[in-house]
Amino acid sequence: MIVSEVMTTHLVTVTPDDTLSHAANLLRQHQFHHLPVVSATNQIVTQGQPSTTRNSWPVLEGLITSNDIDLAAAVGTENSLHGEQRPWEEQRVAEVMNRSIMRVTPTTNVAAAAQMLVEQGLNCLPVVEYEESLNTEQDSEHEARTFLVGLLTRSDLLIELARTLGAFEPGMNLLIPLPTGDPTSLAKMLLLAAELHIKIESVIVAPPKKGVPGVATVRIGTINPAPLLVRLQQAGISYSFANFQSGGETHA
């Protein structure tokens, strides 16, 4: 799975010239913790396709967070370039935003992006496309731009995990033990499901933890698993299943 399958594309953004008051209002209105800072750009011609133009994409300038604004508010007023006192609400986004930020591309692996979020303690990652230079002779004079095409947040990953586990669709999760990583029982279970014409929504096998046997989570698209459970018992295949509503597990 790649980032483009999970990311948010309907974005709320600010520009470097917007006031902190405006940014704070957007954060409060949408209950966000971060806002991409962008500037508009003209249409871009795609390399190798001179007759095709992209829609005007915003250029990523940085990121401003609620913590950045809280810090500016705590400081209160500051001296402008002309020695005038300005309240924090009138300061510009460009004065407090983070310009050096980690980002990913639409084709970045979701697992790698999730690792970046966890290891760096981040709440979001801008998803960007990099401008392709059309004229190599201009490389020394033209700085390639970074276009914002989406945003990947921790919430996006959690929602996708819930969707993959079938939280939003009727069905059931079967947990098939994989002792010593042996997939034989999983393979037999899938064959039995195929014989019974039971749809398999997803199969997830997480890396085993130390001291904890491996297990495969199989999402079956039925709310009546009795025929399959009977066949599993007849074949001597252990299983357990979780009920999303009750939160309990039944083992067999």
Q: Where does a domain end: 162, 182, 201? A: 162
- Owning domain of residue 210: 169-251
How many domains does one find in the chain?
A: 2
Shared domain check, 118 and 68: yes
Distance from C-alpha of 94 to C-alpha of 83, rounded to nearest angstrom: 19
How is the beta sheet containing 59-65 ordered, strand by strand?
A: 34-39, 59-65, 146-153, 124-130
Final residue of a structural domain among 99, 134, 162? 162
Tell me: do 243 and 118 sit in the same domain. Answer: no
The structure's pTM equals 0.72
> For all residues of the chain together, what is the average pLDDT?
83
Whether residue 89 contacts residue 21, with contact meaning beta carbons closer than 8 Å, is answered with yes
Q: Are residues 100 and 147 in the same domain?
A: yes
Distance CA 91, CA 66 (A): 15
Distance in angstroms (rounded) separating the CA atoms of residues 196 and 70: 59
- Mark whether 74 and 117 lie in a shared domain: yes
Given 96, 131, 162, which residue is the final one in a domain? Answer: 162
Residue 176 shares a structural domain with residue 121: no
Task: Check whether residue 205 and residue 128 sit in a common domain.
Answer: no
> Is 131 in the same domain as 33?
yes
Q: Which helix (H) or strand (E) holds 101?
A: none
Statement: residue 108 has pLDDT above 70: yes
pLDDT tens-digit map of 46-73: 333 333 345 567 999 999 999 999 998 8
* Per-residue confidence (pLDDT) for residue 135, from 0 to 100: 46
Q: Which two tokens stand for residue 7?
A: 């990311």
User: Is there a contact between 172 and 145 (Cβ–Cβ < 8 Å)?
Assistant: no
Confidence of residue 205 (pLDDT cuts 50, 70, 90): confident
Q: Quick one: average pLDDT of 19-40?
A: 93
On whether both 109 and 189 belong to a single domain, the answer is no
Residue 158: pLDDT over 90: yes
Do both 130 and 178 map to the same domain?
Answer: no
Report d(CA 174, CA 238) in Å as an integer: 10
